[in-house]
Amino acid sequence: MSSPIAEPPEPTARPDRPQAAGPLPGAEHTPESAGQPAPESLALEPYDAVLVLSFGGPEGEEEVMPFLRRVTGGRGIPDERLAEVAEHYYARGGRSPINGQTRALQQAIRAELRRRGFSTPVLVANRNSEPFLPDVLRGAQDSGTERLLVVTTSAYASYSSCRQYREDIAEALSQLSDEGRSLQVDKIRQYATHPSFARVNARLVTDAVRASGQEDDDKLRVVFVTHSIPTAMDDTSGPGDGEGNLYEHQHDEIAHVILDEAGITLDRDLRGALVFCSRSGRPEQPWLEPDINDHLRQLADSGVTDVVVAPIGFVSDHMEVVHDLDTEAAETAAEVGLRMTRVPTVGTDAEFVMGLVDLAEERAAQARGERVDALAWPGEAMPPICAAGCCPNLRTAKPAACGRD
């Protein structure tokens, strides 16, 4: 049986707080929102702004190689190898879809905040492409921001999906400090275990199973996909005093509850497995397996005819989704005779966005010293302030913001 899903608490009004005049760097302005005050003009006390922080991506062919060099900096990957990966971007005009989708998420979060009566600006910054995080933080501080709340576009616990973002925040704040600037930054907790994330993914998988048209449960499988990481990174994912392997465990839990929920809704005996994509690094270094293409071949050999591919490890359709799944996995499925239905990512789904704003309100209440019952399903709620040693950097020790180390 699936676990019950608790409903999020009703939002409450916050005391008003003066806002800096004028637009902030990294803020997206649309005709619908320009010049229109929020219904009650409340601030998300104690935060002056919310920042959507994304991985980033190139938006033109001339940006592709510099972007890939930044992403792989310090790992000794030769340009010849990067040039192979660059072809994935060149095939799409040198443009990754992630930046546009991040801006869409920024607008959706702003709209949901305004619906709740908050006038708090929503900014956007990237770790690996413009607008770069230090520049956006510098501009926010220039515009009067003193305390800012970060929403990352990565849901799970691991070095690459959490601590690396925190390291980049710490480095950006160090740059500002060297310039004599002062800015306080918090972030919402990792949200793979927030009910809205699982609920939206369960609904999307349910819809995709219906759309597949395959009514024989023995002929259909749900394939849950996430980004592979080195096994050593997974072994140390989660709090330093924990058992590790939290990255894979969180994905596995979500996959199970999605199968339960979709199966109950459709009155079917759905089966599936967690697989991985986008493996990189040295061939001798072990990464999480199985690879999605290997798994699809095995399913075809076992008599399965239809697969529903659910990218639960991704918030939006960036390159690992549109190339590794929509191109490579789709080609493999066609080659072995599988009919493949690809599930959308959560993107700007209204329920997912409401969950992110719930998390922003939750973090704001915690910052004000209020008692908060953090909702979680499945698993346990991640802490708003990461514990010392959580998801360590196994290559080089670096300071990380929004945590106890």
Identity of the residue numbered 42: L
Residue 56 CA to chain centroid, in angstroms?
12
The pTM (predicted TM-score) of the whole model is 0.89
Query: Residue 60: helix, strand or coil by DSSP?
Result: coil
Q: What are phi and psi of 107, to 5 degrees?
A: -65, -40
Any idea of the CA torsion for 303, 306, 309, 310, to the nearest 10 degrees? Answer: -100
Tokens at residue 400, please? 């990380």
Listed in sequence order, the residues at least 6 apart from 381 whose beta carbon sits closer than 8 Å to its beta carbon are 189, 193, 194, 374, 375
Residue 24 CA to chain centroid, in angstroms?
24
Using CA atoms, how far apart are residues 365 and 235, in angstroms rounded to an integer? 33
- 182 near 176, Cβ under 8 Å? yes
CATH second-level architecture of 195-342? 3-Layer(aba) Sandwich (3.40)
Q: How far apart are the first and last CA of the chain?
A: 39
Q: Locate tokens 């413009």: which residue? A: 130
Strands of the sheet with 122-126, listed across from one edge: 122-126, 49-54, 147-152, 184-187
CA 260 to each of CA 212, 236, 269, 313: distance values in angstroms, whole numbers, following the listed order: 18, 29, 9, 18
Angle between helices 79-90 and 61-71 (to 10 degrees): 130
DSSP state, residue 219: T
pLDDT, tens digit only, all 405 positions of the chain: 333 333 333 333 333 333 333 344 455 444 334 334 444 568 899 999 999 999 999 999 999 999 999 998 877 788 998 999 999 999 999 999 999 999 999 999 999 999 999 999 999 999 999 999 999 999 999 999 999 999 999 999 999 999 999 999 999 999 999 999 999 999 999 999 999 999 999 999 999 999 999 999 999 999 999 999 999 999 999 998 888 999 999 999 999 999 999 999 999 999 999 999 999 878 889 999 999 999 999 999 999 999 999 999 999 998 889 999 999 999 999 999 999 999 999 999 999 999 999 999 999 999 999 999 999 999 999 999 999 999 999 999 999 999 998
Domain ranges of the chain: 195-342
